[in-house]
Structures are given as structure tokens and as C-alpha cells.
Amino acid sequence: MEWIQQLINGVSLGSIYALIALGYTMVYGIIKLINFAHGDVFMIGGFIGFYAMVRWDMGFIPALLLAMILCAVFGVIIERVAYKRLRNSTRIAALITAIGVSLLIEYTVVFFRGAQPEGYPDLFVEKNITILGVQISKTSILILAVSIVLMLLLQFIVQKTKIGKAMRAVSHDADAARLMGINVDNTISATFAIGSALAGAAGVIFGVYYTKVDPFMGIIPGLKAFVAAVLGGIGIIPGAMVGGMLLGVVETFVSALGFSLWRDAAAFIILILILIFRPEGIFGKNTREKV
């Protein structure tokens, strides 16, 4: 019974990684950029949710929606200011810029509010419910439910809407999409907006799950989400979802077996193994690149 509880906890944690990983994989799929500032958008979302719930007396869902909207706007600003002019530059220039943007966001937050953590309010008085004799955290169920809804919504946007079709077209061939009348710049901005909104949502549910947020909270989850994206196949949306879930389950079971000090290392051991044995990821295809 305890293993069922741990499995649910692992999937809930993995769904947070999956939401962050989706932003990585969407941006990479469109412009082949690893946006290392994405973890800090996640952090901003966590703080927006905190202030909305504690200072402005909002409920969980309004705070979640506010964080998603503001992070979407923030993501578009980052793309327009920092990345747009580097679209035709070298990969290393864009990568260094992404790291610089990440550090800028972190230390701007520290400058204005300090580095001390903030404590999230408890959403539930009774923390657990019993289902078939298994004690399950209400917080885990809430996080899992919100994450599944957001992932299904993303799949609907990508597969069924006009902007989703434009995103898939630009991902496949940006030049051909431009010739077909698709506004590539707006499509890229929309991709950043959607990915950043998901990261903002992940920041709020991360705060609810771990009950605290701080200016450097995006570093480790951001790196783990990147591992999840690589694990599933970078640039592949279902791969990011599955990679995040798998990573969360592995971490939770590593902790449950008594190796809690190794839980962070487990993610990077997985990254090393996947790069050695299947660098294209679970859902990726091994394709040759023309030189």
C-alpha cells in the first residue's frame, strides 16, 4: 500500500517537472534554443502565486491563472528583448544569453526582496484522504489533476487550433512556413507565451507541494526538467510529459528506498545514461544531420 502512495507522490512530482519540461521542448522544437531562463520564469510564477494567495487573498485557482497570464507576458518580453535578435546567430551565443538572462532574473528578484524563502499557505486542513486503505495526500491529487488538465489543454492547442498548426509548421520548416503566409515571429512569441504560462503554473503548484519558494528555486527543478525533456526526446511534446513523470517516479522511489541524499543525483545519472545509450530520447528518432 505504501508503494501505491509513493507512486502517486512520484507522478505528482513528475507532473511538475513535465510542465516545466514542456516549455523547454516547445522552444527547442521551434528555434533550437535551450532556454535556461525558463527555470526562473517558473520561480517568478511561484512568487506570483504566493503574493496572490497570501497578500491579495486569492484562492488557488485564481492565483494559478494570474501566475500563468503574467508569466506568459514575461516569457514574450524575454523572447522579444533577449532572443529575437539572436535568431540567426550561433547556438553558443544564444545559449550564453539564456544563462545571462537566468542570472539577471534571479539577482533582480534578490535585489528587490532579498534571498529569504517565503512559506506557502496550507490549502487543506485535513491533509490526507483514504482510498481503498491507502493514505493519499490531497495536495498530490490536486497537483496531478491540475497538471493533467493543463497537459490536455496544451495537446488541444497544438493539435486543433490555428496557432498550434502554425507552431508545428514553423517547427518543421520555418522558411517554408513563412512562404505559406505564417507569421513566424508571432508564432515563436506564442510558443514562449504558452511555455512560460505552463512554467508559471508549475511554480504555483511547486510552492503548494513544497510549501515554500525562494529566488533560486528554479535552478534544480529547471535542470531536472531539462533532463526530463532530453529523456523523452527534446522537441517532442509527449516525450516531455512522459520524461517528467518518469523522473518524478524515479526520484520518489529513490527517496523511499532510503537514498534521499541521492535523489538529485538520480536525475543526472539518468541524463548520462540516456546520452550514452539513446541520445535521441525515448520518443526521438535517430536522424542524420546534413553538413
d(CA 249, CA 51): 30
- In this prediction, residue 287 carries a pLDDT of 56
What is d(CA 187, CA 165) in angstroms, rounded to the nearest whole number? 10
Q: Are 20 and 200 in contact (CB under 8 A)?
A: no
At residue 291, the pLDDT reads: 45
* Domain tally, the chain: 1
Q: What is the pLDDT of residue 133?
A: 67
Whole-model pTM?
A: 0.88
Q: What is the pLDDT along the chain (291 residues), one digit of tens a residue?
A: 677 777 888 888 888 888 888 888 888 888 888 888 888 999 999 999 999 988 888 888 999 999 999 999 999 999 999 888 888 788 888 889 989 999 999 999 999 988 888 888 877 656 667 766 667 778 888 888 888 898 889 889 888 889 988 988 888 888 888 888 888 888 999 999 999 999 999 999 988 888 888 899 888 888 888 888 888 887 788 888 888 888 988 888 888 887 778 888 888 888 888 888 888 777 766 655 544
Give a yes or no: residue 186 inside a domain: yes
125 within some domain: yes
* Full domain range(s) for residue 35: 2-218
- The verdict on residue 199 lying in a domain is yes
Amino acid at 110: V
| 35 located within any domain | yes
Strands (E), 127-174: 128-131, 134-137
User: Does residue 32 fall inside a structural domain?
Assistant: yes
How high is the pLDDT of residue 33? 80
Residue 99 counted as domain residue: yes
Residue 259 placed within a domain: no
Helical axes 184-210 vs 2-31, angle rounded to 10°: 160
In a domain, 238, yes or no: no
Q: Answer whether 221's CB lies under 8 Å from 16's CB.
A: yes
Alpha carbon of 68 to those of 12, 21, 52, 55, 161: distances in Å? 19, 15, 12, 18, 19
Asked whether 247 and 14 are in contact (CB, 8 A), the reply is yes
